[in-house]
Amino acid sequence: MPGLPSSVDLDECISRLYKKELLAESVIEAICAKTKELLMRESNVVHVKAPVTVVGDIHGQFYDLIEIFRIGGFCPDTNYLFLGDYVDRGMFSVETISLLVCLKLRYPNRLHLIRGNHESRGVTQSYGFYTECSRKYGNANVWHHFTDMFDYLTLSVVIDDRIFCVHGGLSPSIHSIDQIKIIDRFREIPHEGPMADLVWSDPDPERDEFSLSPRGAGYTFGSQVVKKFLDVNKMDHILRAHQLCQEGYQTLFDNQLSTVWSAPNYCYRCGNMASVLEVGENGDRMFNVFDAAPENDQVKDMQMGQDKMGEQGQLPDYFL
Partner 1 sequence: MERPPPPPFSSPSPSSQTNLPSTSSFLPPPASIPRPPSPVQPPPRSHTQSNFTITTLKAPILKSHPIDALQSRLGIPIPEMIFGDNHFTLLHTPSSYSLTFSAEPALDLVDKTGSTGLLKVHYATAWSATREKTSAGIKEVVKPFDWSYTTSYRGSETPSQQGKKLEKDEKARIPVELLQRRDPILFADEVVLYESELDDNGVSILSVKVRVMQARMLVLCRFFLRLDNVLCRVRDTRVYVDFGEERVVREYTAREGEFGEVKKKLYMEGLMPDQITIAFRDANQIAHLLPVVEHEVESVCLKEEAGQGQEGR
Q: How far apart are CA 129 and CA 124, in angstroms?
A: 5
Three-class secondary structure assignment of 125-159: HHCCHHHHHHHHHCCCHHHHHHHHHHCCCECEEEE
The answer to whether 220 and 201 are in contact (CB under 8 A) is yes
Separation between Cα atoms, residue 312 and residue 260, nearest integer Å: 36
Considering the complex, what minimum distance in angstroms separates the CB of residue 215 from partner 1? 5
CB 155 within 8 A of CB 181: no
Residue 73 CB contacts under 8 Å (≥ 6 apart), including other chains = 53
- Of positions 62, 152, 219, 229, contacts partner 1 by CB under 8 A: 219
Q: Which residues pair with 292 in a beta bridge?
A: none
Task: Find the shortest distance in angstroms from Cβ 105 to partner 1.
Answer: 13
Contact positions with partner 1 (CB under 8 A) in 74-133: 74-79, 107, 109-110, 117-118, 123, 125-127, 130-131
Cis peptide before 316 (omega within 30 of 0): yes
Is residue 210 at the binding interface for partner 1, with CB under 8 A as the rule?
Answer: yes
Cα(32)–Cα(186) distance, rounded to whole angstroms? 15
Tell me the closest approach of the beta carbon of residue 84 to partner 1, in angstroms: 13
Q: Which stretch binds partner 1 (CB under 8 A): 38-46, 142-150, 155-163, 206-214?
A: 206-214
Question: What is the rounded distance in angstroms from the CA atom of residue 5 to the CA atom of residue 73?
Answer: 30
From the candidates 47, 59, 112, 118, which is the catalytic residue?
A: 118
One of 62, 164, 200, 229 touching partner 1 (CB under 8 A): 200
Angle of CA points 110, 115, 118, to nearest 5°: 130
Question: How long a stretch of residues is the chain?
Answer: 320
Q: How far is the CB of 290 from partner 1 (least distance, A)?
A: 7
Between 173 and 256, name the residue whose CB sits nearer to partner 1. Answer: 173
With CB under 8 A as the contact rule, the residue among 43, 141, 179, 211 that binds partner 1 is 211
Can you say whether the dihedral through the CA atoms of 227, 232, 236, 241 is positive or negative?
Answer: negative
* 220 binds partner 1, rule: CB under 8 A: yes
Contact between 245 and partner 1 by CB under 8 A: the answer reads: yes
Residue nearer to partner 1 on the CB measure, 82 or 290: 290
- Provide the minimum distance between the beta carbon of 238 and partner 1 in the complex, in angstroms, as a whole number: 18
Q: 30 vs 222, which CB is nearer to partner 1?
A: 222
- Whether omega for the bond prior to residue 51 falls within 30 degrees of 0, making it cis, is yes
| Nearer to partner 1 among residue 30 and residue 68 (C-beta) | 68
| Per-residue contact string for residues 284-303; x = within reach of partner 1 by CB under 8 A | --x-x-xxx-xx-x------
Interaction between residue 305 and partner 1 (CB under 8 A): no
* Interacting positions 5-44 with partner 1 (CB under 8 A): 11-12, 14-15, 18-19
Residue 191 bears catalytic tag = no
The interface with partner 1 within residues 132-191 (CB under 8 A) comprises 134, 172-173, 191
Cβ 264 to partner 1 shortest distance, Å: 8
Is residue 271 near partner 1 by the rule CB under 8 A?
Answer: yes
Distance CA 39, CA 268 (A): 32
Could you give the strand order of the β-sheet that contains 249-252, starting from the edge strand earlier in sequence?
45-48, 156-159, 163-166, 237-240, 257-260, 249-252
266 sits near partner 1 (criterion: CB under 8 A):
yes
Helix (H) or strand (E) holding 249: strand 249-252
| Residues with catalytic roles | 118
